[in-house]
Amino acid sequence: MSRTGVLLLSFIALLPATAQDTFSIAAVDTITGEVGSAGASCVNLFTFGIADPGFLAQQLPGVGSINTQSAYVVANQNNAMTRLQAGDDPDQIIAWLQANDAQGNAGNRQYGIAKLSGTGAQAAAYTGPQCMAVAEHRVGANYAIQGNILLGPEILDAMEQNFLITTGTLADKLMAALQGANVVGADTRCASNGTSSLFAFLEVAQPDDPFNQPSLSLGVRLGSTGVEPIDSLQALYDAWLITAGIPGWEQASPIHVAPNPVRDRLVILGSGLAWNIVLVFDAHGRRIALPEAPAQADRLALDVATLATGLYHIVVLHEGRRSVGRFIKE
């Protein structure tokens, strides 16, 4: 089922009343043309049957990134992306969303938008007056950081500081920003869980990525386990960097897997691929060893029957190139 389909089934009636607690950043890189987002929240996605921790974020490759949070409504997110695709600037998008809220209640919403603009960037954020305190935002030249039901404004300050002082790629800076909120009770409802949040995500789209298929898309949803999602996301990102940094391996198109979600047998599809190395990581960034069926010219099968339910990431190294994808084990 698509991201939108899942949200429509699970969130329309429930999320506006419950999904208040979120901190996130949307940003762009004016040098590389990358756009991306990172964030976390204390909402238990298992309760709502949501497998994608990055549902709050959308990237339009080569253009910009949008985060939609606090009393989340999918129609507002879709409308924001429509305005971005139409060429509106971040300030114009936010003004439009305030005037055209899908439920006529813009005061409960929070948005962060960053957009490439010529050789520069634009960014804007909005925090409605009815968002639950502490609710604030920070905006810079190429980023927007926002949060609600926060431990305090220092959470956003730390995220901003980490983003600004970190060198490296946009993904490095977004991951560092999220680490700035790695504080017990950063999202105050998670204080009793001993964590900052219950799920976390990181997404970065290259300029030539297809829409809704960012080259980097990592996420963890841990529920009330007492395990810190930002640490788990960091482990997953570190594992991704290892494969990304193998000399000579260039990024290829995303791989396709079926069925997805899967119960027993996962098939990786790729016409004419040479199946050199297949790496599978769980939501904690741990490498998973899986038995392989004999490879055919256009497909490779993996036995996933023994895997625990959840989200998994897969990396295929072939013919000097690296392709990434993900699947959900039912």
Answer whether 128's CB lies under 8 Å from 109's CB. yes
- Kind plus residue range of the DSSP H or E element containing 83: helix 74-85
- Residue 256 is predicted with a pLDDT of 80
Of the candidates 240, 316, 314, the one whose C-alpha atom is nearest the C-alpha of residue 277 is: 316
- Residue 190 is predicted with a pLDDT of 94
- Residue 110 is predicted with a pLDDT of 97
- Asked whether the CA dihedral 136, 139, 145, 151 is positive or negative, the reply is negative
CA distance 148 to 24: 10
pLDDT in tens, 44-94: 998 888 888 999 999 999 999 999 999 999 999 999 999 999 999 999 999
Of the candidates 254, 85, 259, 235, the one whose C-alpha atom is nearest the C-alpha of residue 175 is: 235
**CB under 8 Å to 104, separation ≥6 — which residues?**
none
- pTM (2 decimals)? 0.75
User: What is the total residue count of the chain?
Assistant: 330
Mean pLDDT by 10 residues, the chain (330 residues): 37 42 92 96 89 93 96 94 98 98 95 96 97 96 97 97 91 95 95 95 93 90 88 83 58 74 86 62 71 66 88 72 77
- Residue 176 is predicted with a pLDDT of 94
**CB under 8 Å to 245, separation ≥6 — which residues?**
none
CA distance 20 to 72: 8
- Residue 11 is predicted with a pLDDT of 40
- Residue 139 is predicted with a pLDDT of 98
